[in-house]
A and B are shown apart, each in its own frame.
Chain A
Amino acid sequence: AQSVAQPEDQVNVAEGNPLTVKCTYSVSGNPYLFWYVQYPNRGLQFLLKYITGDNLVKGSYGFEAEFNKSQTSFHLKKPSALVSDSALYFCAVRGGRPTFGRGTSLIVHP
């Protein structure tokens, strides 16, 4: 069975600093990996996806994610955090039916 782990419930970072939100996965075959962001009382918004190709995927709002097959990881990154990036972030894997991580709350302090 496939699974996704987001080991941190919360990540705190100062505005202007780089941020990383971690995700590891387990799936049979080649993974399709996604990151979504959820703001309060809103639905999830697609940020980026990895299917094949370059291990560094660029997405919306300046976010990027690095696929590492040997470590089965797909960490979300941004070089310089903004207060407006504060939200809940979900990693998802689709080796079949989608499986979402439990989410990581990102808090960017002014």
Chain B
Amino acid sequence: DAGVIQSPRHEVTEMGQEVTLRCKPISGHNSLFWYRQTMMRGLELLIYFNNNVPIDDSGMPEDRFSAKMPNASFSTLKIQPSEPRDSAVYFCASSLGGGYNQPQHFGDGTRLSIL
């Protein structure tokens, strides 16, 4: 079975550029999560969607970050403008059922470097 698919796997761009990260959740899963992983802060939840609706975006660091889920099979995380401190590995995860209490299935992440 196909797992969570993220693209690109690696992104290197210059400060100030717009960055768009993409995620395809596991078919049939109705919850989707975006995480950021850094050495300094560990793994942080950015935003949680249920049935394509943002439920909890309290982890989104600032207005430069935005996330959308136009349909059940696709989500984007956008950073505009990007800054060097946004460099991190960004993970998308999906789960079956609502809330935070179901096992989450993670993609392999996008390693983002902002120069």
Contacts and interface: CB of A to CB of B under 8 A. Distances in A.
A46 B3 CA distance: 13
B106 A43 contact: yes
Contacts, number: 44
A96 B59 CA distance: 13
Interface in A10-51: 32, 34, 36, 41-46, 49, 51
B107 interface: yes
A43 B108 contact: yes
B70 to A, nearest CB: 23
B108 A90 contact: no
Interface in B88-108: 91, 93, 100-101, 103-108
A94 B56 CA distance: 14
A102 interface: yes
A51 B99 CA distance: 14
Contacts of B71: none
Nearest to A46: B103
Given A46-B103, A98-B45, 20 more contacts: A34-B103, A36-B106, A41-B108, A42-B109, A43-B108, A44-B106, A45-B106, A46-B104, A46-B105, A49-B103, A51-B101, A94-B101, A96-B100, A97-B48, A97-B100, A98-B100, A100-B43, A101-B42, A102-B42, A103-B42
Interface of B: 4, 42-43, 45, 48, 56, 58-59, 91, 93, 100-101, 103-109
5 contacts: A41-B109, A42-B108, A43-B4, A97-B56, A100-B43
